[in-house]
């Protein structure tokens, strides 16, 4: 179609040079049967593709863009430090400033280490936990995705779930034999596993709000049970807040649900759209990290000054009074509009939401874990996705991702999204 001609040409070129033509699998849109458009630029809640088509964006770069794209404060912050140079491989004052902001925002953090991605953050938190406890076993939860480190690519969500693969070839059995993946929100199963083998468990890692099997809220009692059992067995509790951190509250999901982990991982928002991952927590655990302690972890561009400046600017904006209240209003409007659209369409679907993270599943039953998420009608999701896309609503191209609302989404965006969803769902209901 001429409408996407430039993107199609670019995609053909990209596929000759980059596996699948993308630098991250889920961007290839394979699970929804379309090809990706190449983005020319973005501002606020609007994306513009290579052919000039405009979209209301609910991917938000998979979470970082809580302020909306190209926020003036973030752009200005990057420009204001650019003249100093882009990377030194030596400490910079900006690293202290961002570390202070993150530690001040999250009471469970005594110390943090900057890395370049969420994957590095969770991978490093696991390594430090294993060193701190002298144990190897890791407990994670089905449908949770913690990045692509070998240890954690077991029954993962996000792109692994989107591609329908159990884990990934190339990950030796020797490595994943230490990783146990249990059903999310299943308190009994978790408690009995920890009673049996908790004293061999180095760490329990969880997405405290699950955003990689679609949006699945935690049962607060489940999070409290994770805390109780890990306290009892001396295992490290790791909250992977790469997505939920600074998203569902300024203090993350741990602030929202009142459960304090031993270590946390952050990413996405804390870099303001530039590559930043963070792991941190209790001082005695973090003191294991080289060069203070023996656990090796390193990174050429960790603490990069441009990324630090972008992160500082982003957190400065989102900690302003009223930010989360306004975001909550916008996301609640979208949720109720979608629920009404479902009710008026005759289609069976449920909507899950925590703050500005939403998930719509084509099923009549509640979705509280990965098995239930996988029971939803994926073909219907693909048809819905395509219909919304063609009408200028840019949703995540997978049932196992989440819709992100930003501070840049205005009433007109929400109204257009709801009316487009209404039309799409009516069509699906009549098909
Ligand atoms: P990165 O390595 O992609 O920065 O972060 C990995 C990660 C860790 N933990 C959680 C809870 C995450 O959601 C992620 C990454 N999220 C996916 C989207 N679901 C990133 C998008 C992609 O893989 O292209």
Instruction: Please work out whether the CB of residue 145 comes within 6 Å of at least one atom of ligand 1.
Output: yes
Beta strand segments in 263-375, E: 263-266, 277-281, 350-354, 357-361
Give the atom of ligand 1 at the shortest distance from the alpha carbon of 402. Answer: 19
User: Does residue 166 have a pLDDT over 60?
Assistant: no
Instruction: Please work out whether the CB of residue 207 comes within 6 Å of at least one atom of ligand 1.
Output: yes
User: Does residue 90 have a pLDDT over 60?
Assistant: yes
- Among 422, 354, 359, smallest CA distance to 391 is for 422
Q: Extract the tokens encoding 4.
A: 């996407």
Would you list the DSSP string of 382-410? HHHHHHHHHTTEE--SSTTS-EE--TT--
**Around 171, how many Cα atoms within 13 Å sit in the side-chain half-sphere?**
17
Residue 227: pLDDT band (50, 70, 90) is: very high
Residue among 118, 141, 359 to mutate when testing ligand 1 (max atoms within 8 A of CB): 118
Secondary structure class of 66 (helix, strand, coil): coil
What's the rounded Cα separation, in Å, for the pair 421 and 410? 17
Instruction: Please work out whether the CB of residue 243 comes within 6 Å of at least one atom of ligand 1.
Output: yes
Residue among 18, 207, 212 to mutate when testing ligand 1 (max atoms within 8 A of CB): 212
- Residues with Cβ within 8 Å of 191's Cβ and at least 6 positions away in sequence, in order, are 225, 229
Q: What angle do CA 362, 368, 374 make, to 5 degrees?
A: 45
Domains of the chain by range and CATH? 2-70+322-430 (3.90.1150.10), 72-318 (3.40.640.10)
Distance 159 CA to ligand 1 centre (A): 9
- Determine which residue's CA is closest to atom 21 belonging to ligand 1: 62
Lowest mean pLDDT among 65-69, 160-164, 166-170: 160-164
**In percent, how much of the chain has pLDDT > 90?**
94
Give the atom of ligand 1 at the shortest distance from the alpha carbon of 24. Answer: 24
- Among 57, 69, 146, smallest CA distance to 403 is for 57
Beta bridge partners of 118: none
Q: pLDDT (tens digit, 9 = 90+) per residue, 321-350?
A: 999 999 999 999 999 999 999 999 999 999
- Other C-beta atoms lying within 10 Å of the C-beta of residue 197: 13
- The burial class, CB within 10 Å (0-12 / 13-18 / 19+), for 430 is exposed
- Among 236, 206, 235, smallest CA distance to 222 is for 206
Active-site residue set: 145, 240, 268
Give the atom of ligand 1 at the shortest distance from the alpha carbon of 117. Answer: 4
Residue among 62, 278, 354 to mutate when testing ligand 1 (max atoms within 8 A of CB): 62
Q: Extract the tokens encoding 89.
A: 């491989």
What's the rounded Cα separation, in Å, for the pair 126 and 122? 6
Distance 117 CA to ligand 1 centre (A): 8
Secondary structure class of 331 (helix, strand, coil): helix
- Determine which residue's CA is closest to atom 1 belonging to ligand 1: 118
The pLDDT of residue 164 is 53
What's the rounded Cα separation, in Å, for the pair 377 and 364? 10
User: Does residue 112 have a pLDDT over 90?
Assistant: yes
- Determine which residue's CA is closest to atom 8 belonging to ligand 1: 146
Instruction: Please work out whether the CB of residue 157 comes within 6 Å of at least one atom of ligand 1.
Output: no
Residue among 29, 119, 141 to mutate when testing ligand 1 (max atoms within 8 A of CB): 119
Stated pTM of the model: 0.97
Distance 3 CA to ligand 1 centre (A): 30
- Determine which residue's CA is closest to atom 9 belonging to ligand 1: 146
Secondary structure class of 106 (helix, strand, coil): coil
Give the atom of ligand 1 at the shortest distance from the alpha carbon of 400. Answer: 19
Helices and strands per DSSP (H, E), number in the chain: 15, 14
Average pLDDT over residues 33-49: 98
Q: Extract the tokens encoding 28.
A: 């290839």
Would you list the DSSP string of 118-174? HHHHHHHHHHHHHHHHS--EEEEETT----S-GGG-SS--HHHHHTT-SS-TTS-HH
Lowest mean pLDDT among 52-56, 148-152, 392-396: 148-152
Distance 162 CA to ligand 1 centre (A): 13
- The answer to whether 260 and 254 are in contact (CB under 8 A) is yes
**Around 351, how many Cα atoms within 13 Å sit in the side-chain half-sphere?**
22
User: Does residue 165 have a pLDDT over 60?
Assistant: no
Instruction: Please work out whether the CB of residue 159 comes within 6 Å of at least one atom of ligand 1.
Output: yes
Instruction: Please work out whether the CB of residue 247 comes within 6 Å of at least one atom of ligand 1.
Output: no
Instruction: Please work out whether the CB of residue 278 comes within 6 Å of at least one atom of ligand 1.
Output: no
CB-based contacts of 358-365 (< 8 A; 24+ apart in sequence): 358/215, 358/331, 358/334, 358/402, 358/403, 358/405, 359/211, 359/214, 359/215, 359/216, 359/402, 359/403, 360/214, 360/384, 360/403, 361/214, 361/399
- Residues with Cβ within 8 Å of 158's Cβ and at least 6 positions away in sequence, in order, are 26, 145, 212, 398, 400, 401
The pLDDT of residue 305 is 98
């Amino acid at each position: 179609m001429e409408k996407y001609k430039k993107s199609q040409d670019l995609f053909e070129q990209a596929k000759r040079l980059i596996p699948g033509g993308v630098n991250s699998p889920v961007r290839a849109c394979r699970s929804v049967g379309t090809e990706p458009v190449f983005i020319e630029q973005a501002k606020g809640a609007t994306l513009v593709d290579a052919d000039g088509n405009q979209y209301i964006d609910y991917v938000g770069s998979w979470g970082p863009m809580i302020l909306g794209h190209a926020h003036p404060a973030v752009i200005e912050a990057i420009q204001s430090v650019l003249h100093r140079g882009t990377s030194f491989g030596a400490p910079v004052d900006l690293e202290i400033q961002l570390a202070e902001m993150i530690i001040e925002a999250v009471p469970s953090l005594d110390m943090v280490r900057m890395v370049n991605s969420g994957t590095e953050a969770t991978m490093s938190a696991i390594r430090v936990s294993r060193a701190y406890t002298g144990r190897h076993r890791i407990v994670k939860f089905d449908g949770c995705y913690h990045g692509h480190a070998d240890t954690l690519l077991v029954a993962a969500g996000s792109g692994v779930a989107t591609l329908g693969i159990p884990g990934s070839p190339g990950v030796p059995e020797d490595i994943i034999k230490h990783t146990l993946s249990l059903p999310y929100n299943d308190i009994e199963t978790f408690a009995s596993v920890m009673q049996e083998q908790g004293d061999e468990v180095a760490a329990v890692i969880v997405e405290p709000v699950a955003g990689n099997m679609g949006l699945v809220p935690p049962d607060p009692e489940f999070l409290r049970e994770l805390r109780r059992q890990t306290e009892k067995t001396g295992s490290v509790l790791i909250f992977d807040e790469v997505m939920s951190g600074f998203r569902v509250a300024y203090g993350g999901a741990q602030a929202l649900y009142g459960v304090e982990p031993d270590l946390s991982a952050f990413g996405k928002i804390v870099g303001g759209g530039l590559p930043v991952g963070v792991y941190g927590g209790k001082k005695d655990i973090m003191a294991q990290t080289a060069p203070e302690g023996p656990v090796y972890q390193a990174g050429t561009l960790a603490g990069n000054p441009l990324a630090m400046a972008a992160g500082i600017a982003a957190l400065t904006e989102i900690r302003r009074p009223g930010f989360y209240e306004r975001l909550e209003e916008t996301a609640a409007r979208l949720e109720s509009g979608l629920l009404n659209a479902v009710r008026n369409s005759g289609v069976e679907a449920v909507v899950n939401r925590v703050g500005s993270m939403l998930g719509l599943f084509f099923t009549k039953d509640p979705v509280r874990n990965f098995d239930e998420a996988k029971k939803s009608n994926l073909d219907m999701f693909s048809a819905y996705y395509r219909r919304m896309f063609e009408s200028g609503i840019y949703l995540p191209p997978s049932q196992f991702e989440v819709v992100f609302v930003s501070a840049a989404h205005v009433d007109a965006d929400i109204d257009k999204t709801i009316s487009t969803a209404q039309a799409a769902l009516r069509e699906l209901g009549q098909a």
